[in-house]
Structure 1
Amino acid sequence: MNFTVVNKNICVDNIRMGDCSSASIFLVGDAETISLSAAFDTPPESLIVGPFVPLASP
């Protein structure tokens, strides 16, 4: 994917975030490079997939 970004002034007065997952990114501003990676050191059969528990809100 190729795209062009034209940076202009940004002004953020207030941010309210309701929900955020444990594997997410919230970015305001510029980032030249964002690298994502994940690793598991346990066997797949020990992974428990069940109901998600929401993170506490301040």
Structure 2
Amino acid sequence: MNLHVENKQLCVGDVRIVGVASASVFLIGDTEVISLSSMFDTPPESVIIAPFVPLPAEG
């Protein structure tokens, strides 16, 4: 995969995250390289894949 990025001004006001996956990345700002890898050493029948887990509401 080739990704072309043009760096321009970035202004972030508010961020609201309502759920987090089992493997996730949230990034604001600059980075040179992002390397992702995944490995399972668990038998497939013991893996439980569930929907997003909601974060507690702020009060």
Cα distance change of structure 1 residues 43 and 31 upon mapping to structure 2, 3 Å threshold: same
The normalised TM-score by structure 2 is 0.64
Q: 1:53 to 1:3 in 2, by over 3 A?
A: closer
What count of residue pairs does the alignment treat as equivalent?
57
Q: CA deviation at 1:53?
A: 6.5
Counterpart residue number, 1:30: 30
Aligned-pair identity in percent equals 49
Q: What is aligned with 2:8?
A: 8
Aligned-pair CA distance for 1:39? 1.9
Calculate the aligned-residue CA RMSD, in Å.
2.2
More strand by share: 2
- Distance verdict in 2 for CA 1:29–1:52, change over 3 Å: same
CA drift at 1:41: 2.5
Structure 2: give runs of 5+ residues left out of the alignment.
none
Q: What TM-score does the superposition give when structure 1 sets the normalisation length? A: 0.64
Structure 1: segments with no counterpart, 5+ residues: none
Partner of residue 53, structure 2: 54
Q: 1:43 to 1:52 in 2, by over 3 A?
A: same
